[in-house]
Amino acid sequence: MTKFIFVTGGVVSSLGKGITAASLGVLLKRRGLRVSVIKMDPYLNVDAGTMNPFQHGEVFVTEDGAETDLDLGHYERFLDLSLSSDNNITTGKIYSSVIAKERRGRYLGATVQVIPHITNEIQEHILKVADGNDVLIAEIGGTVGDIEGLPYLEAIRQVAGRVGRGNVLYCHVTLVPFIAAAGELKTKPTQHSVNELRRIGIQPDIIVCRSQFPLEGDIKDKIALFCNVRKEAVVEALDAPSIYRIPLTLHDQGVDMLVLRQLGIPATQEPDLMDWREFDHRCANPETEVEIAMVGKYVSHKDAYLSVVEALRHAAAAGGAKLVLRHVEAEDVERDGVGSLSGVQGILVPGGFGSRGIEGKIAAVGYARTRKIPFFGLCLGMQVAVVEFARNVCGIAAAHSSEIDPGTPNPVIHLLEEQRTISDLGGTMRLGGYTCELVQGSRSHEAYKKSVIRERHRHRYEFNNEYRERLARAGLVTAGVCQGRDLVEIVELEGHPWFVGVQFHPEFTSRPVRPHPLFRDFVAAAMKVTGKGALQD
């Protein structure tokens, strides 16, 4: 029978519920258990696709094309799983399903209410994802006490009644703040948070305490006493130099054994964490450093390009280097020029939507192209690389799209005909996994070491094939095409140390112990740029 771990949070947001859930998943999976995860978000949006990156951060895309919360990215990276739309539910998705059932008469005329109909729908979704797994870890977004989160808390309370309390573990992540004026760690916020959870009917089994300083024995005793848990179930979660350290610190505190005992799961083997420890050691003991400029539209929000940053970290660690990431706002490049890129060893231009900052990204591409600085373009980054080359090498005065320059006919990056006809409704996007055929002898083929790959997409505009041969004659060649559709997926610049643009999002499939091949080779090429600043004027 499947066992359930429900992760909740209290006091404040951003305490690391997602990292805690992912870390528990790593430890249990490395013990040979079949583990799945689910994120439950209390917002009314059906998915994260239309949410502002400045508020919500990155939109993570699954293989089946779901636009989800960024925590699914943590889950995939930590557990090395490929998740789906079922692994992220929102209040909008739940209510849409319930209302659709009501319209079809599925409730036989009953008055549809939050309890039992909404809570039952949540439970059914949880049980669906749990099917076929030994353990399901479910994280509830927000904090205990949020009004929008109450149906989820009630639903997970009821799950224990359906599957048996011995098959359920409640893990509560909370804050133990340090009050400088008093010189003390304070447990009262944790006590209040747990009391609110218990008032709802949930007694936590494990309390993970985020803190800047170690919890002394008397602090743990106090939390255990007032929160009605065993002392060994009060877990210390100090600020760590890397999120990838967390599974190791939890294991060192015996949290995985605590979970196994609580859920009645035999400890048949120790978790195999050798590669994880090696990765952590490389992160903590770099032999050198590599400085990459990321020229984006949302760089002021630390989570807007989360998967890109993590993929760069994976690649840097694989090369024994510390990543020094220079966040460059594309609009600053438009206004002030390319001086902010001076001295970097590599330039990465990530994805984005809309016309804001496009010219700054194009200028960054031109800087990388002419100075022979390793360049990597992702999605929109690939598109602006094509536009820059078309303009400045081929003399084609073609914009990125008619949306940006309505007066430009036949742009090099355009909408497909089937997208153009419904553009008034917002158009359509290519979402999720697509298969790509690589050109033999290309840098991409050399990186992947295979001829057919599969990568995830999230974009609307495409390379205009009418320009393919003309750009190729000038040196910007097609290195990969979408299988069966002849859509350009990868472009590479001949005669450049490393210049690759991809229409897809390779960052979504990078893993700590298995960095993405293109990120790995991009960072490796950047590390070869000696004497930072040598390529300046």
- In this structure, of 50-54, 114-118, 157-161, 490-494, the range with the lowest mean pLDDT score is 50-54
| Lowest mean pLDDT, pick from 42-51, 136-145, 461-470 | 42-51
Is 410 contained in some domain?
Answer: yes
Residue 52 CA, distance from chain mean position: 15
Range 126-163 burial, b when 16+ CB lie within 10 A, else e: beebbeebbbbbbbbbbbbbeeebbbbbbbbbbbbeeb
pLDDT at 234: 96
Share of the chain above pLDDT 70, in %: 95
Q: Residue 61 belongs to what H/E stretch?
A: strand 60-61
Q: For this structure, is 379 an active site residue?
A: yes
Confidence of residue 144 (pLDDT cuts 50, 70, 90): very high
The least confident of 211-220, 246-255, 321-330 is 211-220
Give pLDDT, residue 117: 96
Residue where one domain finishes, among candidates 269, 297, 316: 269
Residue 426 burial class via C-beta count within 10 angstroms: exposed 0-12, middle 13-18, buried 19 and up: exposed
Element (H, E) at 378: strand 375-378
In this structure, the answer to whether residues 7 and 102 fall within a common structural domain is: yes
More confident residue, 155 or 47: 155
The mean per-residue pLDDT over the stretch 125-139 comes to 97
Those residues whose C-beta lies under 8 Å from the C-beta of residue 99, and which sit 6 or more positions away, are: 112
Helix (H) or strand (E) holding 462: strand 462-463
In a domain, 148, yes or no: yes
In terms of Cβ atoms closer than 10 Å to its own Cβ (0-12, 13-18, 19+), residue 76 is buried
Concerning whether 283 is annotated as a catalytic residue, the answer is: no
**Residue 341 · residue 361 · CB < 8 Å:** no
Residue found under tokens 């224990």: 160
HEC profile of 116-129: HHHHHHHHHHHHHH
Q: What is the pLDDT of residue 419?
A: 67
Distance in angstroms (rounded) separating the CA atoms of residues 62 and 64: 5
**Distance between CA atoms of 231 and 26, rounded to whole angstroms?**
24
Question: Do both 179 and 31 map to the same domain?
Answer: yes
Choose, from 56, 496, 505, 516, the residue flagged as catalytic.
505
Co-location of 224 and 344 in the same domain: no
- Specify whether the CB–CB gap between 466 and 410 falls below 8 A: yes
303 inside domain: yes
- Which of these is catalytic: 379, 436, 462, 516? 379
Domain, as residue range, for 105: 3-269
Residues 299 and 155 in one domain: no
Q: Supply the CATH number for residue 118's domain.
A: 3.40.50.300
Q: Does any domain span residue 536? A: no
246 with 390, same domain? no
| Range 41-70 average pLDDT | 89
Q: Based on the fold, state whether residues 189 and 335 are members of the same structural domain.
A: no
Q: What is the pTM of this model?
A: 0.93
Helix (H), strand (E), coil (C) string for 409-447: CCCCEECCHHHHCCHHHCCCCEEEEEEEEECCCCHHHHH
- Residues 81 and 162: their CA atoms lie apart, in Å, by 28
Answer with the residue of higher pLDDT: 412 or 415: 412
459-481 as b/e: b if 16+ CB within 10 A: bbbbbbeebbeebeebbbbbbbb
For 288, list phi and psi in degrees, rounded to 5.
-155, -170
Residue 237 lies in a domain: yes
> Which tokens sit at 226?
């007032």
Do 213 and 95 have their domain in common? Answer: yes
Residue 307 lies in a domain: yes
Q: What is the pLDDT of residues 448-489, one digit of tens each?
A: 999 999 999 999 889 999 999 999 999 999 999 999 889 999
Q: Which of 329, 445, 507, 516 is catalytic?
A: 507
Q: 3-state SS string over 481-511?
A: EECCCCCEEEEEECCCCCEEEECCCHHHHCE
Q: Using CA atoms, how far apart are residues 71 and 477, in angstroms rounded to an integer?
A: 36
Q: Of 54, 14, 301, 35, nearest to 141 (Cα)?
A: 14
Which of 234, 269, 304 marks a domain boundary? 269
- Does 167 lie in the same domain as 112? yes
Count: domains in the chain: 2
Residue 24 lies in a domain: yes
What is the per-residue pLDDT for 401? 58
| Same-domain check for residues 65 and 188 | yes
Question: What tokens does 424 get?
Answer: 């008034």
> Please, which pLDDT band fits residue 410 given cuts at 50, 70 and 90?
confident
Q: What is the CATH number of the domain that holds 320?
A: 3.40.50.880
How far is residue 491's CA from residue 475's CA, in Å, rounded to a whole number? 10
Q: Are residues 221 and 356 part of one domain?
A: no
Could you say which DSSP state residue 20 is in?
Answer: H
Catalytic residue flag (residue 125): no
d(CA 191, CA 176): 10
Co-location of 233 and 301 in the same domain: no
Confirm whether 499 is domain-assigned: yes
Q: Which residue type occupies 367? A: Y
Q: Are residues 145 and 215 in the same domain?
A: yes
- C-beta of residue 83 within 8 angstroms of C-beta of residue 71: no
